[in-house]
Amino acid sequence: MTEAVTESTTPAPESGPSETSKARRLTLIVLGICAVIFLWHLAADRHTPYTDQARVNSLTIPIVSQVPGYVSEIRVRLHSVVEEGDTLFVIDRRKYEYAVRQAEANVDRAAQSVGAGTATVKAAAAQLGSANARLDRAQRNFDRTQRVVEGNPGALSQANQDYAETSLAQAVEGVSTAEANLEKAKEALGATGPDNADLRLAIAQLESAQLDLAFSTVIAPSAGIVESFNLTVGYFAAAGAPLATLVTAEDVWIQADMRENNLGHIDIGDPVELSLDVMPGRIIKGTVRSVGYGVSDGRNSNAGDLPSIAPSLGWVREPQRFPVIIAVDREEIRGLGRIGGQASVIVFTGRNFFLNAIGRLHIRIASLLSYVR
């Protein structure tokens, strides 16, 4: 009886204060880690902004024939790589060659009445026709460059703009020189040569025929890759109607759509690291070329509207995104820069060693994850 009472009054073991303190310490550690991650996120979001909403962009040029006719020769295929000046298509040249011969005969006939120098006049007229063809191509390339710059000031590098202006100036100078040579040749025919109405008409017709003949060969206006190609010999090409599309390799850039609260410290020239989904694990360096100053709110339907970026929908409103244009080395991205290809981008806005180191690790991890996306 005594033993039973003793057993029933034995106190049960109690949890000591050490277990409670361990739980408290663990809770504090977890809260501390969360606070550190939160503070890092706030700092990184402004000093090393990152986005995976980025795409590859380049210029596209519709390839058109300036003279009508049946396609007699095709020298490219879909996705062919071409250089500036390469022949893409040839329009049936027979009627244009006949027009040139007919115009030359008219010049011969008109020149017989005013003296010698016919051959010189024909050569000068042919040179002027070719110079006008070069001027036409240079003017169209310059106008296209201006439209791109007006729509997106950072889309083209200054070197590309200078090249377009220089080409146009050289073409204008070439026309002036050819006109001077033609005038000299016409004066060599005699005092009455330049004033002869029949001769002037014949020369004008020859220039027009030479220009049409030059336009019967459709050439690449710049280096690039042929897209939207679906032609065969015998296809009738209407003047001005697109025959294919050329994705130019002259300038390739990345448009990174950054959140509005990422933009505070981003400046033109800031270094950038990016990875393309097409090449997981590879890091490409670049620089900030420009930062967008406006996006469409979806309510404006004007022809010259601002860029439109679709908002991210969710329980919490996401900040508006603005395009940040990233310049990359053309040779480094050659063969990888497919228009519309996706990329991940991080911008380093300062010399913060810790944030920059974490950012570099972040972009490399994101690049490796492209293997399993």
pLDDT digits (tens, 9 = 90+) for 34-55: 766 666 666 667 888 988 888 9
User: How many residues are recorded in the chain?
Assistant: 373
How far apart CA 105 and CA 100 sit, in angstroms, is 9
pLDDT band at 277 (very low <50, low <70, confident <90, very high): confident
Give me the chain's average pLDDT, please: 79
- Pick from 82, 24, 67: nearest CA to 250: 82
Cβ 128 vs Cβ 179: under 8 Å: yes
Residue 58 has pLDDT above 80, yes or no: yes
pLDDT of residue 145: 78
β-partners of residue 269 are none
Q: Is 50 exposed, middle or buried (0-12, 13-18, 19+ CB in 10 A)?
A: buried
CATH number of 44-58+248-369: 2.40.30.170
pLDDT band at 159 (very low <50, low <70, confident <90, very high): confident
Token pair of 49, please?
């902004």
Q: How far is Cα of residue 30 from the mean position of the Cα atoms in its chain?
A: 48
pTM of the predicted model, to two decimals?
0.62
Q: Where are the domains of the chain?
A: 44-58+248-369, 94-215
